[in-house]
Amino acid sequence: MSEVNQSPEYLERLRHSTAHIMAYAVQQLFPNGEHTVKLAIGPPIENEFYYDMEVPRPITPDDFPEIEKHMKAMIKSNVPFEQETWTFDAARTWFAERNQTFKLELIDGISDREVSASDEGVAEEGVSIYHNGDFTDLCKGPHIDKTGECRHFKLLRVSGAYWRGDSNREQLQRIYGTAWGTREDLRTYLRQREEAAKRDHRKLGRELELFQMHPESPGSVFWLPKGAFIYNHLSEKVRKLNLTEGYNEVRTPLIYDSSLWQTSGHWEHFKEDMFLIDNEDGEPTSALKPMNCPAHMLIYKSKRHSYRDLPYRLHDQGVLHRNEATGTLSGLSRVRQLCQDDAHNFVTEDQIAEEYERILGLFQRIYGTFDLPFRCDFSTRNPDKYMGDIEVWNRAEDILESVLKNNQIDYTVDPGEAAFYGPKLDFQIRDSLNRDVQCATVQLDFQLPERFELIYIAPDGSEKRPVVIHRAICGSFERFIAMLIEHYAGAFPTWLSPVQCVVMTISQKFVDYATEVQNLLLNNECRVVLDNSDDKIGAKIRQARLQRIPYMLIIGERERDNRTVSVRSREEGDIGAMTLDSFIDKIRDEIDIDF
């Protein structure tokens, strides 16, 4: 494959073009499909594409062979993608004649936070239209040259979607597919999807009895004993690291009056994503907290601070609630109730560089423990939308970029993508399936100290504004654990495994010695269970392997008489006989892990 058609830009155009071909093919399933299949939007996304549409009957995977047949026919014809600019009147007339109401809405320029008319090729000068063969669509492009380039594709799945992401609007069907430059790339991606399906944290969560989700509390996790151990153990490791690094742990309330959210700006910008609480008159006057930062501003403001007190670091693992739309909820990855390893660091401008260095050190210690490589997206100032002194912004951006370079962090710059209150670093973890997963964010904030009128006393006795650094390394523990489940396929490292060792007997004659072994391991802080069932040893081993338990200790006559254990490892297989002291030393080396 040439270098050009492996580029991300080419693959994005390829997938966008394949989405158009798929939309045309779906229309062929129905009589007068150009009028009865109402098309919405069909963008490329990471590795895939989709098209949202309203169809006369539900599309199922059983329809995929027929859709793919029509797609292949258009691809074989190798017709070009051709662009035209139409007047608004001409575009309205053409799409109205075909009853394409969603396209008409885009042409009319109605836009919101999810779909904007400009994204679909509507601009002041006219309407961008693309043709490929007998198919015409509203689209700003760009596309590839001809349909023949789209031959390496596969339809994947169907889901529901609301028009413009609004649950009060039309419910559409979203058909997903993937397209690649070569047959081998397509096959590789499909194999990765198969492996990802096997590792899906929702599937493994059930099989390994880690957590449950119930419709009685949508978007909230029911942690079972094994999952609760992983959650609490990870939380404690993070807590211990923060305390050794000079953070002050706090616990803050769940419910706050609307006045706090108005001061912080969340009532204006984040209200629809909050769980609101009405007063006796039915008016929303308070809310469950979706984040910890406003509470931490109150704590900082409650006492007078000198420059000698800074950096002042607050760490909080309190429960948060976010009113995510029902259709977006997905296992542990997207929830309504969550906890973060959240922290807010109050610093002087001169301390920004050193504090970022310390924070990056925490990233490397935590991610390094899991052998997780990571990279960073560095979002810089939007010249048309920012708060504060431009010289402070420029200096802060220079500092952050130098910190990334000094620490040899792989990063890309996203110009103009920062929030208006400060530059931001988003950290992407690369998991064992070579997928990027965003967990961590470090955000520099000039706005909240201004809104809350925070001050510290400078060396000359004057009052100065601190700068706040928002910092979460794991992000939400729910999402981080979802990533770990899939990264390890449920086979957690020994220190994080809810059960580290299972002692299993060959027969009931050896239960007394097996119990002694179990108690000795428990006394050495090893998480161990005893399987003294009547099952044959082969069945016990299979069950332990299904549960991804790191070590199996087999107890029979020889082990009892020699006061040894026969060790099987999840990774190494049969290790052989070991003395109890030797095995305890071995497993302790794997258990004694701190970030």
If you ran DSSP here, which 8-state letter would residue 430 be given? E
What b-and-e string marks burial along 127-158, b requiring 16 or more CB atoms within 10 Å of the CB? bbbbbbbebbbbbbeebbeebebbbbbbbbeb
Beta strand 126-132 pairing with 135-138: antiparallel
Instruction: Answer whether 343's CB lies under 8 Å from 314's CB.
Output: yes
**By C-alpha distance, which of 472, 475, 470 is closest to 344?**
470
Name residues whose C-beta falls within 8 Å of residue 501's C-beta, 6 or more positions apart in sequence: 521, 526, 527, 528, 529, 549, 550, 551, 552, 553, 587
305/455 Cα distance (integer angstroms)? 7
Which residue out of 103, 143, 470, 548 is catalytically annotated?
470
Taking Cα atoms as reference points, which of 138, 155, 139, 136 lies closest to residue 70?
155
Determine which one of 266, 424, 479, 568 is catalytic: 424
Could you confirm whether 150 is annotated as catalytic?
no
For residue 87, how many other CB atoms are within 10 A of its CB?
11
500 is catalytic: no
**Inter-residue contact 397 to 381 (CB < 8 Å):** yes
Catalytic residue among 152, 201, 322, 464: 322
What residues contact residue 440 under an 8 Å CB cut-off, 6+ apart? 363, 374, 426, 427, 429, 472, 473, 474, 475
- Candidates 100, 173, 340, 500; catalytic one: 340
How big is the CA angle at 432 (ends 497 and 590), to the nearest 5 degrees? 30
501 as an active site residue: the answer is no
Distance CA 470, CA 426 (A): 12
| Bridge partners for 51 per DSSP | 175
Neighbour count for residue 457 (Cβ, 10 Å): 15
Mention every residue, 6+ apart, whose C-beta is less than 8 A from residue 371.
none
Whole-angstrom distance, CA of residue 309 vs CA of residue 246: 12
Residue of 63, 137, 316, 342 marked catalytic: 342
**Is cis: bond before 142, omega within 30 of 0?**
yes
Is residue 50 within 8 Å of residue 43, measured between CB atoms?
Answer: yes
Asked if 342 is an active-site residue, the reply is: yes
Find, among 284, 294, 50, 298, the residue nearest to 177 by Cα.
50
| 72 is annotated as an active-site residue | no
Half-sphere exposure of 483 (CA within 13 A, CB side): 23
Residue 424 falls in the annotated catalytic set: yes
Measured distance CA(107)–CA(38) in Å, rounded: 15
Query: Residue written as tokens 């608004």?
Result: 88
Whether the CB-CB separation of 570 and 541 falls below 8 Å is answered with: no
- Kindly report the backbone phi and psi dihedral angles of residue 50, in degrees, each rounded to the nearest multiple of 5, phi listed first: -150, 165
Tokens representing 139?
């689209």
Is 293 assigned a catalytic role?
yes
SS3 312: strand
- Is the separation of the CB atoms in 590 and 233 below 8 Å? no
Instruction: Give which of 281, 51, 6 is closest to 155, Cα–Cα.
Output: 51
Residues with catalytic roles: 293, 322, 340, 342, 344, 424, 470
